[in-house]
């Protein structure tokens, strides 16, 4: 059985790649790998100084631009400042908030950053994109539920894990509906999702909350490093796979190992939920799909 590795990354000379959250973790590994393969890699990061520090430490052509996915003004400014083609957009940045906090626009932080920020960014940049949109999701989507009556946790008590799972389910539904709309527009762009597996990255230390006890032990014994965690993203970025694929690790319930195509929950395959989420996301962000359909959306399955 053949497996995908770093050796399978093709020559990327002449390609332009944007990676959100590229200053650390699997985003940094993906950015470094693609830059070393010859791509011009744009680090789209909230903290410019950290981004510059990460970018200057790797070989290849890199650029750092400010992007705060928790601010729609920042997302719009990034997109408005873009000029030229984009071969690959990697929606990698993500947060997992333990306590309730909100974006600059008043959305629950995890949903607002992980889904709405990337939703707006992708649609605003889509006229420039010629290759792929890769969105980093998670198998946490399997326990995710979209409460359309309270997506922003304004009424029910906030719980960090369900909020994160909701955002990751949204990532997969976004990928599916994006591919359906791209197909309807006659576009050759592919939308693909990736699950990094169980990875020891800074997301576990977000907001200064460090793992302890059983969680720390599990991370130490079972988690793979960021290099392995980035492989599903890179596989989704360059492998010969169809749109709306979901890439994840091969072993240990898809939590470790080389990447392969994996399944997703029934909810993540529900066309009605995907369409409803898309409509609400357009309403929340004020951003719409920019391409004109050449055939009716109703004719295309999810």
Phi-psi region of 7 (alpha: psi -120 to 50; beta: other; left: phi over 0): alpha
CA atoms within 13 A on the CB side of 256: 8
Is-contact 203 95, C-beta < 8 A? yes
Residue in the block written with tokens 């994160």:
164
- Give CA separation, 83 vs 55, 86, 127, 242, 269, in Å: 21, 9, 11, 28, 35
The angle, 0 to 180 degrees and rounded to 10, between the axes of the packed helices 160-184 and 271-285 is 100
DSSP string, 152-200: T-SSSPP-HHHHHHHHHHHHHHHHHHHHHHHHHTT---EEEEE---SB-
Is-contact 174 126, C-beta < 8 A? no
204 is catalytic: no
The active-site residue, picked from 158, 164, 204, 235, is 164
| Residue 247 parent element (H or E) | strand 246-251
Active site residues: 164
């Amino acid at each position: 059985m053949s497996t995908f590795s770093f050796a399978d990354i093709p020559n990327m000379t002449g390609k332009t790649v944007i990676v959100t959250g590229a200053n650390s973790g699997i985003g940094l590994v993906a950015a470094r790998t693609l830059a070393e393969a010859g791509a011009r890699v744009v680090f789209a990061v909230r903290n410019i100084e950290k981004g510059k520090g990460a970018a200057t430490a790797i070989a290849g052509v890199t650029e750092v631009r400010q992007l705060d996915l928790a601010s729609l003004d920042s997302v719009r400014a990034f997109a408005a400042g873009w000029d030229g083609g984009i071969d690959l957009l990697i929606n990698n940045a993500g947060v997992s908030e333990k306590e309730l906090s909100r974006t600059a626009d008043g959305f629950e932080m995890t949903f607002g950053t992980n889904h709405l920020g990337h939703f707006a960014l992708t649609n605003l940049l889509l006229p420039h994109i010629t290759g792929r949109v890769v969105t980093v999701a998670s198998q946490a989507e399997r326990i995710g539920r979209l409460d359309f009556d309270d997506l922003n946790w304004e009424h029910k008590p906030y719980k960090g894990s369900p909020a994160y799972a909701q955002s990751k389910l949204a990532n997969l539904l976004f990928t599916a509906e994006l591919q359906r709309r791209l197909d309807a527009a006659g576009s050759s762009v592919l939308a693909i999702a990736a699950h990094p597996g169980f990875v020891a990255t800074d997301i576990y230390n977000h907001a200064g909350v460090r793992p302890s006890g059983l969680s720390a032990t599990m991370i130490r014994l079972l988690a793979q490093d960021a290099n392995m965690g980035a492989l599903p993203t890179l596989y989704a970025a360059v492998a010969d796979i169809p749109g709306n694929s979901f890439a994840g690790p091969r072993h240990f319930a898809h939590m470790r190992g080389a990447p392969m195509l994996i399944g997703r929950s029934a909810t993540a395959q529900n066309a009605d939920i995907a369409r409803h989420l898309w409509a609400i996301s357009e309403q929340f962000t004020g951003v719409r799909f920019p391409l004109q359909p050449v055939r009716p959306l109703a004719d295309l399955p999810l």
